Amino acid sequence: MSDSLASMQSDTGRGREILARMDRLPVVRSHIVWIVLIAFNMMIEYYDNGLNIPLATELPRDPQTGVAPEAVGNVLSIFYAGMIVGAIVGGRLADRYGRRPVLIWGTVLYSCMSLMTAALPYYEYLLVSRFVTGIGVQAVTSVLVTYMAELFPAAKRGRFVAVSTFSFTVTSPILAALSVFILPDNEPGAWRILALIGAVGLVIVPAVRMLMPESPRWLIANGRTDEAERIVERLEVEAVAGGKPLGPVEVADDMPEADLTVRGLLSDRGLLKIVAVVGFGWFGATLGLYLHHNFIVTVLYGMHLAEGADKAAALHSSYVSYLVWSSVYVVTPVLTYILISRFERKIVILLGSLTGAVAILATAFGGISLYNVGAAVGFILSGVVFSAYYAYIPEVVPTRARGLGSGIIFGIGRTGAMVTGILYTALYYPSPKGVFGWGREGAFTVAAATYIVSALVVVAFGPKTSNRSLEEVEAEQVRG
Summarised one tens digit per residue, pLDDT across range 12-62 is 778 888 888 888 888 889 988 998 898 888 888 889 988 999 999 999 999
Q: Is the pLDDT of residue 64 over 80?
A: yes
Residue 3 counted as domain residue: no
Are 288 and 451 in contact, with CB atoms under 8 Å apart?
A: yes
Residue 6 counted as domain residue: no
Residues 137 and 285 in one domain: no
- How many alpha carbons lie under 13 Å from residue 255 in its C-beta half-sphere? 22
Whole-number pLDDT of residue 399 = 65
Are 375 and 363 in contact, with CB atoms under 8 Å apart?
A: yes
Q: What is the CATH number of the domain that holds 304?
A: 1.20.1250.20
Residue 186 CB-density burial (10 A; 0-12 exposed, 13-18 middle, 19+ buried): exposed
Per residue, the 3-state secondary structure of the chain, as one string, reads CHHHHHHHHHHHHHHHHHHHHHHCCCCCHHHHHHHHHHHHHHHHHHHHHHCHHHHHHHHHHCCCCCCCHHHHHHHHHHHHHHHHHHHHHHHHHHHHHCHHHHHHHHHHHHHHHHHHHHHCCCHHHHHHHHHHHHHHHHHHHHHHHHHHHHHCCHHHHHHHHHHHCHHHHHHHHHHHHHHHHHCCCCCHHHHHHHHHHHHHHHHHHHHHHHHCCCCHHHHHHCCCHHHHHHHHHHHHHHHHHCCCCCCCCCCCCCCCCCCCCHHHHHHCHHHHHHHHHHHHHHHHHHHHHHHHHCCHHHHHHHHHHHCCCCHHHHHHHHHHHHHHHHHHHHHHHHHHHHHHHHCCHHHHHHHHHHHHHHHHHHHHHCCHHHHHHHHHHHHHHHHHHHHHHHHHHHHCCCHHHHHHHHHHHHHHHHHHHHHHHHHHHHHHCECCCCEECCHHHHHHHHHHHHHHHHHHHHHHHCCCCCCCCHHHHHHHHHHC
Bridge partner list, 430: 435, 436
Dihedral sign (CA 407, 411, 414, 416): negative
Name the more confident of 338 and 267: 338
Residues 261 and 241 in one domain: no
Residues 233 and 341 in one domain: no
Which of 194, 213, 248 is the last residue before a domain boundary? 248
Which of 219, 248, 277 is the last residue before a domain boundary? 248
Residue 330 counted as domain residue: yes
Which of 248, 276, 304 is the last residue before a domain boundary? 248
Residue 2 counted as domain residue: no
Residues 210 and 311 in one domain: no
The dihedrals phi and psi of 45, each to the nearest 5 degrees, come to -60, -45
Average of pLDDT values for 245-264? 62
Whole-number pLDDT of residue 288 = 95
Residue 1 counted as domain residue: no
Nearest-5° angle of CA 53, CA 58, CA 60? 120
Whole-number pLDDT of residue 148 = 80
Residues 199 and 272 in one domain: no
Residue closest to 161 by CA, chosen among 349, 325, 401: 349
Residue 7 counted as domain residue: no
> What does the alpha-carbon distance between residue 391 and residue 380 come to, in Å, rounded to a whole number?
17
Are 269 and 477 in contact, with CB atoms under 8 Å apart?
A: no
Residue 294 counted as domain residue: yes
| pTM (global) more than 0.95 | no
Total domains in the chain come to 2
| Max CA distance (Å), the chain | 84
**Which pLDDT band holds residue 260 (cuts at 50, 70, 90)?**
low
Enclosing domain of residue 58: 12-248
Residues 80 and 141 in one domain: yes
Average of pLDDT values for 114-122? 95
pLDDT in tens, 119-153: 999 999 999 999 999 999 989 988 888 888 788 88
pLDDT in tens, 287-323: 999 999 999 999 999 999 999 999 889 999 999 999 9
From 165-174, 343-352, 373-382, the region with the lowest mean pLDDT: 165-174
Average of pLDDT values for 256-264? 56
Residues 359 and 428 in one domain: yes
Residues 212 and 72 in one domain: yes
Residues 419 and 383 in one domain: yes
Residue 282 counted as domain residue: yes
Residue closest to 194 by CA, chosen among 107, 133, 141: 133
Are 257 and 385 in contact, with CB atoms under 8 Å apart?
A: no
Residues 387 and 288 in one domain: yes
Q: Is the pLDDT of residue 479 over 60?
A: no
Report cis status (omega within 30 of 0) of the bond before 432.
yes
Residues 236 and 278 in one domain: no
Are 119 and 128 in contact, with CB atoms under 8 Å apart?
A: no
Whole-number pLDDT of residue 165 = 66
Residue closest to 52 by CA, chosen among 472, 421, 468, 447: 421
Give the chain's mean pLDDT.
86
Residues 266 and 223 in one domain: no
Residue closest to 70 by CA, chosen among 434, 417, 420: 434
